[in-house]
Structure 1
Amino acid sequence: MRGEYKVPGGKLVAVDVEVTDGSLGRVAVSGDFFLEPDDALSRIDAALTGRPEDASVADLTAAVKAALRPIDTLVGFTPESVAVAVRRAVGRATGWHDHTFEVIHEDVPRAPAVNAALDQVLLEELAAGRRGPTLRFWEWVEPAVIIGSFQSLRNEVDLEAAGELGIDVVRRISGGGAMFMEAGNCITFSLVVPASLVDGLTFEQSYAFLDDWVIGALADVGVRASYSGLNDIASPAGKIAGAAQKRVVGGGVLHHVTMAYDIDAEKMTRVLRVGREKLSDKGTRSAAKRVDPVRSQTGRSRAEVIAAFDAHFRARYGCVDGALRPEEVARAEELVATKFGTPEWTARVP
């Protein structure tokens, strides 16, 4: 059996494994990484041989580390990446190419609260085995502030200013920070995947791993970007996007990204109480200036950028056209009425 893992920003690690009586009978690690001295590779192979077939990433990582000497140098990969590749080889973890993704991009916009509810619905449907991995691009009309699951409403949002400007406030199920979203000025998409795809990865590693294709798609439209911190995507001109996650234990992972296409920074500072800090984080000091890293760096329309992202994802992974099912939409609308559209949920952290 063979497993592969491409380290985000690093090299490919491949592992060929033979399993005998529940143990790793033969292990051969290879890849385009760099390793000195040469004999370290045989020591890694030997350290993994004989380990239980169902050994955890932590156990396999510890075995690799124990085989390494202080003089050994690993470049472009880590002991953890070897362990993930082993888990994939024996079928305990999966890779991108083990799945076929549905890609959904509706022409009809939906209210921000419905979009937030759909994220929960699709995650639940995947965890229940009724839906496969899915990439969904959001479309909406009403301006909104989408706050993280654990943020304080009054500390994050000027509710009086939001009411004056007709801006909805919606709390999502994932953590992270507040997002100021106007139709046509942001690009937002959600990725729902099985937990097996991020098996063995830390939360920090999984963010970069699930957004590796985004860095490639940005390069396609002329933006040189990289991951910054835990969950931000940045370019030399400043922050471009932020990601957030929600996991269902033993089930699925929701990973969504909001990208600044052409933000009205002055309006954002009126609504978000931490607007000035966000502006600084995005590479501009003046509230009168628009935060537009994607528009200004690409010269393309929002629709063209989304099309490029869609094409890059489809070229990279196995995809089919997808659509929301009537029962999924109905469930989302029910959740808006009982959860996402209620004061109790929106102000659950006052």
Structure 2
Amino acid sequence: MSKHGEYKVPGGKLVVVDFELVDGRIQDFHLSGDFFLEPDDALADIDRAVDGMSPNGTIEQFAEAIQAALPAEVHLLGFTPESVGIAIRRAVTGAAHWRDYDWQILHEPPVSPMLNAALDEVLTAAVGEGLRGPTLRIWEWDEPAVIIGSFQSVKNEVDEDEAAARGATIVRRISGGGAMYMAPESSITYALYVPGELVRGMSFADSYAYLDEWVLEALKTLGIDAVYKPLNDITSPHGKIGGAAQKRLGSGAVLHHVTMAYDMDGEVMAKVLRIGREKLSDKGTSSAQKRVDPLRSQTGLTREAIVERMVEVFKRRHGGTDGEVTEGEWDAAERLVEEKFKTEAWIRRVP
């Protein structure tokens, strides 16, 4: 049985593997791609190392076998032994690729932050149930909010008096991760709703960088030297730009959303977020602005122009057509706000 797998290393090169499965073992293994490898004959060493291995091996086991087979003086540029392991796992598990899908791109008018959070759950569920295809959505919101992670404590994270003074609603999202203070148009938030097949064979950590590689490319076209810092940060030499969070539903669908600072007021953020007072101080840095570096200062562009470039790069890399949230999805999200997101039981499920 012939197997083919591909993995684009975030910030690196394409790794391609082809092999046969014979009597429960990998045979006739061939690695290829647009990476760099010196010396040339190390490619054959990698092929021989994988030949005969079980297809059920872990990424780490494949990487260890490859590393052990490589000569002492070898240079791998644009890929790693682990990335070969990921490509093998994706071949074995039948992982999908971005272009296997017809992507929809949604950019609706501003709604409340709570409705945005509910929409993330509704649209992820719709993808998992096959009611909509994979989708990229740009958030727009009409009032300030403190968005907290699914497992965070309200009293530990939020100064509720400061939040109330600024008219900020507390919204608990369904994904984990940290809290953020979001004023309208101060940040760029997007969400991906994808089938689990797109990240099959990857670790949780690898999937974060994989799903955000397109946005790193978009930022680089704007002159920002953006890189991914595990587990879930997008950063640059001038400071942190944003962070990602994920939630995987029982259906296998994945919600992956990211908030990047455009023109955040670090001083206000440090007042509203309790933990933020320590995080934003950045080990003694006096100005919170130095911790979260806004996209506006690095590009000089409007928020709209940056979003436009992001969508342009996404379409060029992965395809996609402009769509809209259906009436049924809006209705479901509004019900979810009333039944879940707006309730004290949900907001304060971790007091």
- TM-score, normalised with respect to structure 1: 0.90
- Residue 31 of structure 1 aligns with which residue? 33
Q: What is the aligned partner in structure 2 of residue 182 from structure 1?
A: 183
Please say which of residues 78-87 and 92-101 is displaced more in the overlay: 78-87
Match of 1:247 in 2: 248
| Equivalent residue, structure 2, for 1:13 | 15
Using the alignment, how far apart are the partners of 2:57 and 2:129 within structure 1?
A: 25
- 2:85 aligned partner: 83
In the alignment, the residues of structure 2 paired with residue 147 and residue 64 of structure 1 have an alpha-carbon distance, to the nearest angstrom, of: 37
Q: In the TM superposition, what is the alpha-carbon distance from 1:181 to its structure 2 partner? A: 0.5
Tell me how far apart the structure 2 counterparts of residues 313 and 238 of structure 1 sit (CA, whole Å): 24
Contact 2:5 2:17 in 1 (8 A): yes
Unaligned runs of at least 5 residues, structure 1: none
Measured in 1, the distance between the counterparts of 2:293 and 2:39 equals 47
Q: Contact between 1:101 and 1:319, CA under 8 Å: does it hold in 2?
A: yes
Q: Quick check: 1:138 aligned with 2:174?
A: no
Are 1:194 and 2:195 matched, yes or no? yes
Aligned mates of 1:288, 1:218 — CA distance in 2: 20
In structure 2, what is the Cα distance between the partners aligned to 1:240 and 1:64?
31
The answer to whether the 8 Å contact 1:17/1:28 transfers is yes
Report the secondary structure of 1:97's partner residue: helix
Aligned position for 1:102: 104
Distance 1:301 1:63, change over 3 A: closer
The total of aligned residue pairs comes to: 346
Give the deviation of 1:337 after TM superposition: 0.5
Deviation (angstroms), 1:51: 5.4
Query: Deviation string for 1:100-139 (max 9, x for gaps)?
Result: 2111111x21110110011111111111122221110001
Decide which moves more: 113-122 or 90-99.
90-99
Q: Distance in 1 between matches of 2:53 and 2:7?
A: 19
Contact 1:159 1:271 in 2 (8 A): yes
TM-aligned CA deviation for residue 35 of structure 1: 4.0
Q: Which residue of 1 aligns with 2:211?
A: 210
Q: What SS is found at the alignment partner of 1:192? A: strand
Separation of aligned partners in 1, 2:301 and 2:146: 25
User: C-alpha separation between the residues in 2 aligned to 1:177 and 1:163?
Assistant: 20
Q: Is the 8 A contact 1:57 1:84 kept in 2?
A: no
Q: Structure 1 CA distance, aligned partners of 2:14 and 2:289?
A: 45
Q: 1:170 maps to which residue?
A: 171
Contact 1:191 1:256 in 2 (8 A): yes
RMSD: 2.6
Q: Secondary structure at the match of 1:15?
A: strand
Q: 1:121 to 1:146 in 2, by over 3 A?
A: same
Residue identity opposite 1:65 in structure 2: E
| Contact 1:266–1:289 (8 Å) recurs in 2 | no
Contact residue 101 and residue 318 of structure 1 kept, 8 A: yes
Paired residue type of 1:155: N
> Does the CA-based 8 Å contact 2:114-2:341 persist in structure 1?
yes
Q: Distance in 2 between matches of 1:290 and 1:46?
A: 47
For 1:65, the equivalent position in structure 2 comes to 64
- Amino acid aligned to 1:152: S
Alpha-carbon distance in structure 1 between the residues aligned to 2:288 and 2:106: 35
**Alpha-carbon offset, residue 144 of structure 1:** 0.3
- Name the SS for the 1:280 alignment partner: coil
Tell me how far 1:292 sits from its aligned partner.
5.4
Higher mean alpha-carbon deviation, 88-97 vs 108-117, is at 88-97
1:128-162 CA deviation, whole Å, 9 max, x = no partner? 12222111000111100000001110010011221
Question: What residue is the counterpart of 1:257 in the other structure?
Answer: 258
CA 1:282/1:232 → structure 2, altered by over 3 Å: closer, same or farther? farther
Task: Answer whether contact 1:263 1:290 (CA < 8 A) is retained.
Answer: no
Secondary structure of 1:100's aligned partner? coil
Q: Which moved more, 1:138-147 or 1:34-43?
A: 34-43
Q: Deviations over 1:38-81 (max 9, x none)?
A: 444334334444556xx3461x6525533533635462323332
Would the aligned equivalents of 1:238 and 1:281 in 2 still touch at CA under 8 Å? no
Matching residue's letter, 2:103: F
**How far apart in 2 are the matches of 1:308 and 1:282?**
34
Which region of structure 1 is more displaced relative to structure 2, 20-29 or 317-326?
Answer: 20-29
